Structure 1
Amino acid sequence: MATTGEDNMPPKPQPPLNLPSLVATAFSRAVASKDVNFYPTSVTLINVNSIPFQLRYSPSLANKPKPPAPLPVVPPSPPNASHPPPPKKTFFNPFASPAQAMLITPLGSPPSHNLVLNKFAIVPEHFILSTAAFKPQTHLLEADDLAAAYACIEEYAQHGQELFVFFNSGEHSGASQPHRHLQLLPVGNMKEGLLGGEWDVLAKRLSTPETKRKLPFEVFAAGIEEVNGDGEGLRKVYLELYSQACEAVLGVAEDIKLDGEAKMSYNLAMTRTTMVVMPRLAEGGVVKDEKGQEVGKLALNGTVLAGTALVKSEMEWNALRRDPAQVREVLGRIGVPNRAKI
């Protein structure tokens, strides 16, 4: 019997049916063994054009251990070379061979991806979906990356829980590791510490023009429920949003390659209902005290699409609570300014 293209495709990676409890158990064990550093935070809600934004403060995070320094690697000299080639730097890659204490589970057989714990967590049970083989963080996502992430979202939904997925790509996005990985946060845990006030994941509302026009930056969003977790369908939506974002940054829609290295820095967010792509022009902006003196910098990654921001110093924390308009100003600088009227 003849086979179809679909028959030859590898099965999409599926997480285990007990994924939420598996993550929770792995996280508790790794915190107890000090393989994961968990940093408690203080949190308050600030208003950005009537959108509630979480502002979190984690003083311990400022002193988190630094990864091992890059090691010089001298490549072999070619025959008859008068001078050895300059050394290359290699970086510590936590996703290349995940430590057993950090590995939650591989996905697929043979594994295409791994689920691993985030070593530096400010939200309990923060975990990561990384490719098993090295693939660049700056290259466009593939169908199996998106399918695996959405399968995790669906598995949490089967247990009455939500996941927020985000991806940082490029120098202005908040990305810190060159090995491709998406990050996953249990939404219930993101709400810990909120004492009063209404907050929910911003990305869930960004397929509606009412919320989008309130943002200081442009986003491109679409509903994905009808795609039903299909990797090729999710990638089609992703590439359409990516193309719109490229046009906003570069001014052209033609000749945008839909594979290989991305043409811009951007963040992606995904919930069960919505996918969002946000082009990035800067990682953050300065924070000033009441005297106009610079006291730090507010840096933002893909969690900005959840409606959250994090500071590491008390001076930044006090300055932004005293003058929340500074958060809106920084948000207006990190992406393409929103052309819609508020």
Structure 2
Amino acid sequence: MGRIRAPYNLPELVRSTFARAKASGDVNFYPTQAAVLHVNSIPFQLRFSPSLANKPKPPPKPTNPDGNSSSGSGGGGGGGTKPFDPFADPPPALVVAKLEPWTHYLVLNKFAIVPEHFILATTAFAAQTDLLDAADLAAARACVDAYADADGGLFVFFNCGEHSGASQPHRHLQLLPVARMRDGLPAGGAGWEVLAARLGREQAAVDKVPFPCFVERLDDDDDAMFGAAADPEGVALRGKYLELYRRACEVMGVKGAEQQMDGEARISYNLAMTRDVMVLCPRRSEGAALVAGGGDEVGKLALNGTVLAGTALVKSEAEWDALRGDPEQLGRVLARI
């Protein structure tokens, strides 16, 4: 495999593709209200999108004549129907670019909370539940490097496993321009920063977050050590990733990961990457219930890899009010994930 390249003008390509797709209705953009809450003095942005509750739902899984849901494997005499794969043949209006040498491509998130939210997907099907390979990480790093001069850079996250917030079986990483993550925040986002960046700088922040996370700096020895030019095939990046994964498995009490190089991940986890840091958070739950002041349950807060950016999203006004009225509740939910 040769060096994976992202377009040098990637920020402009993403911006223009998003603008066209939004204008044509090919992207559904959900405006939000935003607030900043603090958990152990660490800022988390909370967003409320009532219209997201009406997001179109995928069709139900087809059933076999015996009434059981199809496995969707499409193999052998099970008679299953292959489930819809949004990354197998995406609408042309959503495609941002193909990355040379064509192992991956970039496509807009059709249901966007953050403007210019885009996705890095494998061209050929690969399982979301398997360990990332070097090419996945090299492709992500190429995108991060393309945003090096953009305001705030790029935040990359990956959801793996049943408790991680993953929703599609086709392997994909998600990418958010940090400048657009600040849109709508009070005072232009003053006081909030990407959590992963802070975790990479401050051991005190690692100690304060109410969930376990493991951190590797990407500039310990050489500022360019993990960039696309110095690590064109992502080998060094994957070494860092596997170290994080194995440490997380050990903490979760999972055996057999010490020598694992590929195959299905043994834990659920979220991975985050910026230009300077890689962070992995093992998961045991997707979220927890929220309660109003009187103790009545009003909904559930579910969290995916954006938790490592220091963000959370709710879809109902009752959930929005419950968290703003009792910010410590966010910390209690985070402690359970």
TM-score by length of 1: 0.89
The answer to whether structure 1 residue 224 and structure 2 residue 212 are counterparts is no
The answer to whether structure 1 residue 204 and structure 2 residue 197 are counterparts is yes
- Residue of structure 2 equivalent to 1:322: 325
Residue 209 of structure 1, CA deviation: 1.3
Alignment of 1:18-97 (within 5 A): 18-71=9-62, 85-97=77-89
- Residue of structure 1 equivalent to 2:4: 13
Q: 1:214 aligns with which of 205, 208, 224?
A: 208
Gaps of 5+ in 1: 1-9, 75-83, 335-342
AA of the residue aligned to 1:260 = G
Any idea what the Cα deviations from partners look like across 1:196-223, whole Å, max 9, x if unmatched? 3410100012133111000101100010
Any idea what the Cα deviations from partners look like across 1:233-253, whole Å, max 9, x if unmatched? 000000000000000102557
- Residue of structure 2 equivalent to 1:191: 182
Say if 1:64 and 1:251 are closer, same or farther in 2 by CA, change over 3 A: closer
Q: Is the contact made by 1:69 and 1:91 (CA closer than 8 Å) also made in structure 2? A: no
The answer to whether structure 1 residue 107 and structure 2 residue 99 are counterparts is yes
RMSD: 1.7
Residue 289 of structure 1, CA deviation: 0.5
Any idea what the Cα deviations from partners look like across 1:40-89, whole Å, max 9, x if unmatched? 00000001000000000000001001123334589xxxxxxxxx954324
Gaps of 5+ in 2: 66-75
TM-score by length of 2: 0.90
- Residue of structure 2 equivalent to 1:279: 282
Q: Is the contact made by 2:50 and 2:316 (CA closer than 8 Å) also made in structure 1? A: yes
How many Å separate the matches in 1 of 2:247 and 2:152? 31
AA of the residue aligned to 1:40 = P
Residue 228 of structure 1, CA deviation: 2.4
AA of the residue aligned to 2:100 = G
AA of the residue aligned to 1:101 = A
Q: 2:298 aligns with which of 290, 295, 298?
A: 295
Moved more, 323-332 or 222-231: 222-231
How many Å separate the matches in 2 of 1:161 and 1:216? 25
How many Å separate the matches in 1 of 2:95 and 2:58? 18
Say if 1:73 and 1:127 are closer, same or farther in 2 by CA, change over 3 A: farther
Q: Is the contact made by 1:136 and 1:179 (CA closer than 8 Å) also made in structure 2? A: yes
Counterpart secondary structure, 2:52 = helix
The answer to whether structure 1 residue 170 and structure 2 residue 170 are counterparts is no
Residue 258 of structure 1, CA deviation: 2.3
Residue 178 of structure 1, CA deviation: 0.3
How many Å separate the matches in 1 of 2:258 and 2:113? 40
- Residue of structure 2 equivalent to 1:5: none
Say if 1:167 and 1:129 are closer, same or farther in 2 by CA, change over 3 A: same
AA of the residue aligned to 1:67 = P
Residue 160 of structure 1, CA deviation: 4.5
Larger C-alpha radius of gyration, 1 or 2?
Answer: 1
Counterpart secondary structure, 2:157 = strand
In the TM superposition, structure 1's runs of 4+ consecutive aligned residues that sit over 4 Å from their partners are 251-256
Counterpart secondary structure, 1:250 = coil
- Residue of structure 2 equivalent to 1:339: none
